[in-house]
């Protein structure tokens, strides 16, 4: 999501959802505005609450800090917490799809690390 600001006739775009919590809340607001069911919205909230909790434990506050390695570690963390394969997949797919929409900023240069899967 971008916020357009016009200063002295110059329009610039700045990211307004660089902070992880803002990004997650923006996603939920977007889905609510799209009219997803309450059950689906609750599903998203539960998955993102878990992901946000994991990120907080790793002191990850900005979306740019999330790397493919972080997502892989998150899957291992979910496994250690007792989530089965289907549950881990549900968490991962939701975050991965949204991350793929963002440009790869401040990521490792290795092509292997730029894959979100």
CA distances from 96 to 19, 39, 56, 75, 116 (A): 17, 21, 18, 11, 6
**Partner residues linked to 1 by β-bridges:** none
Residue ranges making up the domain that contains 37: 2-106
Say if 27 falls within a structural domain. yes
Say if 15 falls within a structural domain. yes
Say if 92 falls within a structural domain. yes
3-state secondary structure of 86: helix
- Looking at per-residue confidence, does 40 or 105 come out higher? 40
Per residue in 90-104, pLDDT (tens digit) is 988 888 887 777 654
Say if 86 falls within a structural domain. yes
How distant is the alpha carbon of residue 36 from its chain centre? 19
Say if 22 falls within a structural domain. yes
Per residue in 10-20, pLDDT (tens digit) is 544 445 557 88
Say if 115 falls within a structural domain. no
Say if 51 falls within a structural domain. yes
**Please, what's the b/e burial string for 8-35 (b: 16 or more CB within 10 A of its CB; e: otherwise)?**
eeeeeeebebeebeebbeebeeeeeeee
Say if 62 falls within a structural domain. yes
Please tell me the total count of domains within the chain.
1
Per residue in 58-116, pLDDT (tens digit) is 999 998 888 889 999 999 999 999 999 999 999 888 888 877 776 544 444 343 344 44
- The CATH number of the domain holding residue 70 is 1.10.150.130
Structure tokens at 1: 């999501």
- Looking at per-residue confidence, does 114 or 28 come out higher? 28
């Amino acid at each position: 999501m971008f916020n357009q600001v016009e200063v002295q006739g110059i329009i610039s775009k700045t990211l307004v959802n660089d902070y992880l919590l803002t990004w997650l809340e923006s996603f939920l607001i977007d889905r609510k505005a799209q009219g997803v069911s309450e059950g689906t919205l609750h599903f998203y909230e539960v998955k993102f609450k878990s992901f946000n909790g994991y990120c907080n434990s790793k002191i990850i506050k900005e979306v740019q800090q999330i790397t493919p390695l972080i997502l892989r570690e998150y899957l291992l963390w979910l496994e250690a917490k007792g989530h089965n394969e289907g549950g881990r997949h549900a968490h991962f797919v939701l975050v991965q799809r949204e991350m793929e929409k963002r440009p790869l900023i401040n990521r490792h240069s290795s092509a292997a690390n730029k894959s979100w899967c």
